[in-house]
Amino acid sequence: MPEAGYRHHWIDGSPIELPVGKAVCVGRNYAEHARELGNAVPDEPVLFMKPASAIVGLDEPLHLPEGQGAVHHEVEMAVLMGERLRRADAEQARYAIHGYGLALDLTLRELQNRLKEQGQPWERAKAFDGALPLSGFVEARGISIKQNLRVALEVNGELRQHGDTGQMLMPTFALLSHISHCFTLEPGDLVLTGTPAGVGPLASGDRLRMHLGNVLSASATIA
């Protein structure tokens, strides 16, 4: 069950009649971000998942885990699946997209670094309750993502992260196709498409503002 009755919804607040499923996320999909964390630029997408229980709405104050070190912001374009996608090509992937939104891939960075050093999975650093705050969605139909969309995050009025979807090492439709050869994507599942450079720690009381081109903006506060 998702946290506190979270439901997928459009930006006007009206509900989307899809279940809330898993989120498949891609690490290091922007070269500059891979470099800032001292990671090699991968030849193949680095995939991991967050469960439905990690999802919360952006409209409620966000509660960060305590006593586990820095929680980093990673602003990302989120894709909401409307159709099942299994071993699909990029063109099929395109028509399976229901909407686009903004997400924060919250990360316990120090814990993640320890887990990486020990060769362990990242889940504890990435999949905790509240680790995936999500905005409302805009309909995929109305949007051409062929044109590059700016993905940006301001914290307390200061620009921290910005990039655009044209910088993705694997672009959206190809990424969905690739994922669908690893995991079946179900209606109501999400794909997080990676974060541009500029990640950093969040603090209590921070005010966040995120943008996806001129398509969508969202705000959040840290409790």
What residues make contact with Zn ion under the rule CB under 5 A? 74, 105, 195
Of 1 and 132, which CB lies nearer to Zn ion in the complex structure?
Answer: 132
Q: Cβ-closest residue to Zn ion?
A: 105
Task: Please answer whether residues 134 and 101 qualify as being in contact, where contact means their C-beta atoms are separated by less than 8 angstroms.
Answer: yes
User: Smallest distance, Å, CB 151 to Zn ion?
Assistant: 11
Q: Which residues contact 146 (CB under 8 A, 6 or more apart)?
A: none
Residue among 39 and 217 whose Cβ is closer to Zn ion = 39
Residue 37, C-beta contacts closer than 8 angstroms, at least 6 positions apart: 199
Which of 7/49 has CB closer to Zn ion?
49
Report in angstroms how near the CB of residue 88 gets to Zn ion at its nearest.
23
In sequence order, which ranges of 127-220 are alpha helices (DSSP H)? Answer: 172-180
- Considering the complex, state which of residue 3 and residue 74 has its C-beta at the smaller distance from Zn ion: 74
Helix (H, G, I), strand (E, B) or coil at 222: strand
Give the span between the Cα atoms of 57 and 64, in whole angstroms: 14
How far apart are CB 76 and Zn ion at their closest, in Å? Answer: 6
Q: What's the closest the beta carbon of residue 195 comes to Zn ion, in angstroms?
A: 4
* Ramachandran area for residue 67 (φ above 0: left; ψ -120 to 50: alpha; else beta): left
